[in-house]
Structure 1
Amino acid sequence: MRQNNTYLDRDDVSKALETLQAGGIILYPTDTIWGIGCDATNPEAVEKVFALKGRDQAKSMILLLHNDNQLAGYVNDIPDVAYQLIEVTDRPLTIIYSLAKNLPANVMAADGTVGIRVVDHPFCQQLLQRFRKPIISTSANLSGQPSPRNFLDISPEITEGADYVVQFGQQDTEEREPSMIIKLDPSGKFEFIRK
């Protein structure tokens, strides 16, 4: 599989997978900007991500899933409109859901909400399918610094702090944007947080 002249190497996916399974941190490309990731169900791994970014733990992080069938495992009440929004959007979309479940406290916001994106990206798809659990995705920058537009924008502190740096996508110089964010009420009402 090729994207932007970059070959998707199974060994690259396997090393990222082993790092996640061992409770480590990966630096990886997504359907938006480069992210710092870990096993979203492992609170100790999530702590490492907060520490690497220097991020306030009151700020929750996004989770990535590879398909919308997995949502029910992590959200108590999913309005039908969520599936419609995921299907019709032509941009990467993160939805903030109420009543998260089966996740560590340090992954959810103080009000029990969680941001989840069903990701459409060749590397993420393969990794998530093999991992079978959600992965944290937070921008690959120190807290307060600008988000990286491509791999070359990532600071050495971040690349050196990751346990594994994914090879796929490093040569892609396209400038990418963060996802659109919608907050979704259990009633089906939603509001744009970031367009």
Structure 2
Amino acid sequence: MLRDEVAKAYKVIQEGGIILYPTDTIWGIGCDATNTEAVKKIFALKQREESKSMIILLDADHQMERYVAEVPALAYDLIEFAENPLTLIMPGAKGISPALIAPDGSIAMRVSKHPFCQQLIQRMRRPLVSTSANISGEPSPKNFGFVSQEIIDGVDYVVDVDQHDLSEKKPSTIMSLDPTGRFEFIRR
């Protein structure tokens, strides 16, 4: 079942499509983080300003080095010891669609522990865009039941994993981290 859903989602992403999928936090909309046209489809669906960047998901912390110029040693400790899913914003983004890079040159990254996300990212061999499955300005969906029909109809594929999980999830903690190791909480 999980393997089949990963295969279906991978095919859609390879063709430049966008998916609605479960994560270790809330439901997300995603695509290949190196495909600018697909990233733009997500901005359009969410009715989101392109100056507001989205995050990328990785399957392992050592992947961070491929997408930012310098990863402070503290980043690995923060990820390892975080009690909740942690998104890190770091400067010097590289190797991804320019549409995902914030005006200050940073990118937000999270290592996902969700089995679907991990298997899909491993299969893609690149990061997966992740942004909350809602129209910009509306509340983030706490589970699949909260995802609007407009979002469901607007993606190319809805992943059939965890749709019946009614537990209410919340977004990740977000911290900004600079190369010197200085950090600041953006969202707790």
Report if TM-score (shorter chain) is over 0.5. Answer: yes
**Alpha-carbon distance in structure 1 between the residues aligned to 2:154 and 2:116:** 21
Residue in 2 that maps onto 1:79: 72
Number of equivalenced pairs: 188
Pair 1:39-2:42 in alignment: no
Residue in 1 that maps onto 2:183: 190
Pair 1:111-2:96 in alignment: no
The gaps in structure 1 that reach 5 residues or longer are: 1-7
Residue in 1 that maps onto 2:128: 135
Structure 1 vs Structure 2 CA RMSD: 0.7
**Alpha-carbon distance in structure 1 between the residues aligned to 2:77 and 2:140:** 29
Superposed CA offset, 1:95-130 (max 9, x none) = 001111112221010000000000101111111111
SS of structure 1 residue aligned to 2:20: strand
**Alpha-carbon distance in structure 2 between the residues aligned to 1:104 and 1:132:** 15
Q: What displacement does 1:94 show?
A: 0.1
Instruction: Assess if the C-alpha contact under 8 Å between 2:2 and 2:116 holds in 1.
Output: no
Residue in 2 that maps onto 1:3: none
**Alpha-carbon distance in structure 2 between the residues aligned to 1:104 and 1:16:** 20
The gaps in structure 2 that reach 5 residues or longer are: none
Residue in 2 that maps onto 1:122: 115
Q: What displacement does 1:162 show?
A: 0.6
1:181 alignment partner AA: I
Provide the identity percentage. Answer: 57
**Alpha-carbon distance in structure 2 between the residues aligned to 1:25 and 1:81:** 33
**Alpha-carbon distance in structure 2 between the residues aligned to 1:68 and 1:21:** 24
Q: Which runs of structure 1 show a deviation greater than 3 angstroms over 4 or more consecutive aligned residues? A: none
Matches within 5 A, 1:143-162: 143-162=136-155
Superposed CA offset, 1:61-119 (max 9, x none) = 00000001111110101100000101111210000011111122210100000000001
Q: What displacement does 1:10 show?
A: 1.4
Residue in 2 that maps onto 1:60: 53
